[in-house]
Amino acid sequence: MTRPTITQAMIDAYDEYTHLTLDRRGFMEKLTRLAGSSAAAAAIAPMLAASSARAAIVAEDDERLETEDITYPGGEGEMRGYLVRPADRQGPLPAVIVIHENRGLNPHIRDVARRMALEGFVALAPDFLSPLGGTPDDEDQARQMFGELDREQTVANGVATIAFLEEHEDANGNVGAVGFCWGGGMVNRLAVGAPSLDAAVAYYGAQPEAEQVESIEAPLLLHYAGLDERINAGIEEYRNALEAAAKDYTIHMYEGVNHAFNNDTSEARYDEEAATLAWERTVAFLKEHLA
C-alpha cells in the first residue's frame, strides 16, 4: 500500500484539534477535504496522532533505573507523579521536573522522565490533572480536562513539586523544570511564580505576559519550532521583555520543523535531528545550572 502523503495543512489541522480550537468531527471533516477522501483521512489520522505503542525508548524495567508512582503534597490536596532515579547513584543528584503535554502523564512523558534520569538526574513527572482525578486513558478526555484546571492552583501545585524535590533525600536541593507544549507554557509560568526554580527549559511553550517577566529568576532555555506559527507569534514580545529586564535566557529556533518535534511517538511531527540537538542542549543546560 502506498504511504499517504502528509501535508503541512494536515499537520496544522491536527494542531488546531489538539489545542481545542477544532473538535474531532471538525478535524476529520477538514482532514477528509485535505486528503481527498474519507479513506485517506482515516489512514492519515493515526500518523498525525501520538502512538503509545512507540513510547518506550527506555524500557519501564530498565535495570539502570529505580522507578515508582508516588503521591506527594500539592498546593492544595495530593499530587500524583512518576519518580525515576539512577540505580547506581552515589550521593545526591540534581532534580528535574518533567512536565507533560496536554495529554497528561502518559507513557511518552514517563519515558522522557526515564531518559532524563539516565542523564544523571532525579526526575519527577507530575500529573497536573491530579486535582481532577488524574490522567485518563482517553487522550480526547484528557485534553478536555485541561480546560477545567484552575490556573493559580496548577501553578501552586508546580511550586509544591519544586519544594518536594528540594527536600528529597536523593536530590541535592537544586531543581530545574523541562516541559513540552502545555508543559512548556507551564515551565514559563513556573519561572514567573517560583523564584526558587533553578533552571527552566520550555519546548514550544506559550509565553507569559510581558509584565510578569520581571519576576523570573531562573535562567531560561527556550526551544521553538520554525513552523509553529501559533506559539511563535509570542516570541518577539517575550524576547523584548526578557531583554528589558536583563534576564538570563537563550532562544533556539529549529527551522523547518513542527510543534511537538520532540515527541517521537508522533510519526508526522517528530524530527529526529532537531529533537536530538534540543535534548543535548537541554541536558547540558540543566547540568550547568543544577550541579
pLDDT tens for 164-212 read 999 999 999 999 999 999 999 999 999 999 999 999 999 999 999 999 9
Do 201 and 108 share a domain, yes or no? Answer: yes
| H helix or E strand, kind and range, residue 136 | none
Q: Which of 44-53, 99-108, 152-161 has the lowest mean pLDDT?
A: 44-53
Same domain, 37 and 76: no
Please check whether residue 3 lies inside any domain of the structure: no
Q: Is residue 1 part of a domain?
A: no
| Claim to verify: residue 40 and residue 77 sit in the same structural domain | no
Are residue 13 and residue 104 in the same domain, yes or no?
no
> Are residues 267 and 153 in contact, defined by beta-carbon separation less than 8 angstroms?
no
| Closest among 268, 264, 273, 275 to 55, alpha carbons compared | 264
Looking at the structure, do residues 177 and 44 belong to the same domain, yes or no?
Answer: no
DSSP state of 224: E
Is there a single domain that holds both residue 68 and residue 40? no
Query: What CA–CA distance (Å, rounded) separates 189 from 211?
Result: 12
Claim to verify: residue 172 and residue 117 sit in the same structural domain = yes
Q: Note whether residue 148 is domain-resident.
A: yes
| Residue 283 and residue 151 share a domain | yes
Full residue range of the structural domain in which residue 209 is found: 61-290
Tell me how far CA of residue 164 lies from CA of 78, 120, 173, in angstroms: 12, 19, 10
Confidence of residue 227 (pLDDT cuts 50, 70, 90): very high
Alpha-helical segments (H) within the chain: 8-18, 24-35, 38-48, 107-118, 139-146, 151-166, 182-193, 229-232, 235-244, 272-290
Does residue 291 contact residue 120 with C-beta atoms inside 8 Å?
no
CATH of the domain at 114: 3.40.50.1820
